[in-house]
Amino acid sequence: MTDKPVKVLFVCLGNICRSPSAEAVFIEKVKAAGLSDRFEIDSAGILSVHAGEPADARMRKHATARGYKLESRSRPVTPRDFFDFDYIIGMDHANIRDLLDRAPDKQSQAKISLFLSFAPHLDREEVPDPYYGGAAGFEEVLDLCEEASEKLLAALQHEC
Ligand code: 4NP
């Protein structure tokens, strides 16, 4: 156990669907485990086109139905994030490639991982982008976020 909180940043392309959902779900898992003061949790996007916007209204509707509050506003990943955060977690392989490209050094590259790599039992690698699809895609994002958040918390708990 250290005094410093574990800092986790979830990243997707637009920061209006998948990563705000991962952030909200992980916040709830951490809260349920009584570890809220041991973590700092945020999300960001590869793109900056949605900067300042709330999460996508469809994503918020599906998340609210499961009791999650998507309160973050979209912001792009910044160079500082690579120093500030301990874990930088992308939703798909394209996110990982973009993050690795932007990471300033090897030490920051080592912080980057694929969200579903924490949940190998799912036998899936990516949280699919729901932006251009229908309701099922938003539900799938939440299903995957719930499974992977539980496993991520189990993996990080030893650092608290
Ligand atoms: P997200 O979904 O990466 O899960 O936030 C997307 C949102 C917006 C866009 C792409 C993906 N977009 O191209 O605007």
User: Which CATH number does the domain housing residue 33 bear?
Assistant: 3.40.50.2300
| Domain contains 138 | yes
| 60 domain residue, yes or no | yes
The amino acid occupying position 103 is A
Residue 87 maps to a domain: yes
The total number of structural domains that make up the chain? 1
Residues of the chain with pLDDT under 70: 1-2
Please tell me the predicted confidence (pLDDT) of residue 2. 61
Specify the pTM: 0.97
Q: For residue 160, what pLDDT is reported?
A: 79
Taking the CA of residue 20 as reference, the ligand 1 atom at the shortest distance is 5
Determine which helix (DSSP H) or strand (DSSP E) holds 114, and give its type and residue range: strand 112-114
Pocket of ligand 1 (CB under 6 A): 12-18, 49, 129, 131
Spacing, Cα 148 to ligand 1 middle (Å):
20
The residues annotated as belonging to the active site are 12, 18, 129
Q: For residue 146, give its domain range.
A: 6-159
Contacts of 11 (CB under 8 A, 6+ apart): 19, 43, 44, 45, 46, 77, 88, 89, 90, 91, 95, 99
Instruction: Please report whether residue 1 resides in a domain.
Output: no
